[in-house]
Structure 1
């Protein structure tokens, strides 16, 4: 009987030690989880300084849909390339549609502002002006949602 009691005491010490290790590990790993909510669909957006959803039950949508968005973008976007400028035809943009349906924090995906071409700067100026959005909803609440989209730009050439 004494042997079993001694064994149980060691097991109890081992459990306390394991618990302490779990607590220490959790404390240090919390910083890596700072940007992700427990549901996996939220992240911290450093440009807007907001926690934003990446996916929700009702995603934000431009009023009139993607066709209306592209038509409005195409109507407003005018850019003339310089003689030796590389011609771009795809833009990968990211922005947040906030709880009120406003587009905020437009950026070129994975690119620093200092690296933007004039083409990209003009595209962001136009995108930022397109404010006709329906907000996203999650659990029947209006929420901030980050959107990433690729815009194909068809260029028309003229012989001036």
Structure 2
């Protein structure tokens, strides 16, 4: 009679981790409007990461004053991707200078819609962090 109990324990041990997938909501979420920070399927720029890199290289304008001053670095941007894929609430998490930070915000805010993140197969609002490099060549 111990074998069925052992099988039941083994099944429960395998099943519980599958049910507790890592999905987290942001502290600014409200019960009527959840905003996720971790999702099961990440949001994606239409065309993938290579298209995102191409979009950035074609649309990012290095501020002349910052370039003349030799300022460079990585700006970390956080933005909301809505369940419709729209970009909202673009903010700097870590900046380089006011001019460079403003350009990173402008470029991200002007992006076309993304493919939204998903939880349990449903599109959800979620935050996305994006590093943007500025380097003087």
Please give the TM-score of this superposition, normalised by the length of structure 2: 0.69
Q: 1:110 to 1:92 in 2, by over 3 A?
A: closer
Paired position in structure 1 for 2:40: 57
Post-superposition shift, 1:143? 0.4
Judge conservation of contact 1:81–1:87 (CA < 8 Å) in 2.
Answer: no
Aligned CA-pair RMSD? 2.5
Return the match for 1:41 from 18, 24, 38: 24
Distance in 2, matches of 1:154 and 1:67, equals 19
Paired position in structure 2 for 1:4: none
Paired position in structure 2 for 1:148: 129
Which structure 2 segments of 5+ residues have no match?
Answer: 1-21
Larger Rg: 1
Q: 1:40 to 1:100 in 2, by over 3 A?
A: closer
Return the match for 1:98 from 82, 89, 99: 82
Distance in 1, matches of 2:25 and 2:61, equals 35
Which structure 1 segments of 5+ residues have no match?
Answer: 1-38
- 2:55 aligned with 1:72: yes
Please give the TM-score of this superposition, normalised by the length of structure 1: 0.60
Aligned residues between the structures: 112
Q: Deviations over 1:70-126 (max 9, x none)?
A: 211111111233277451231111111100011111111157xxx961111011101
Distance in 1, matches of 2:113 and 2:136, equals 25
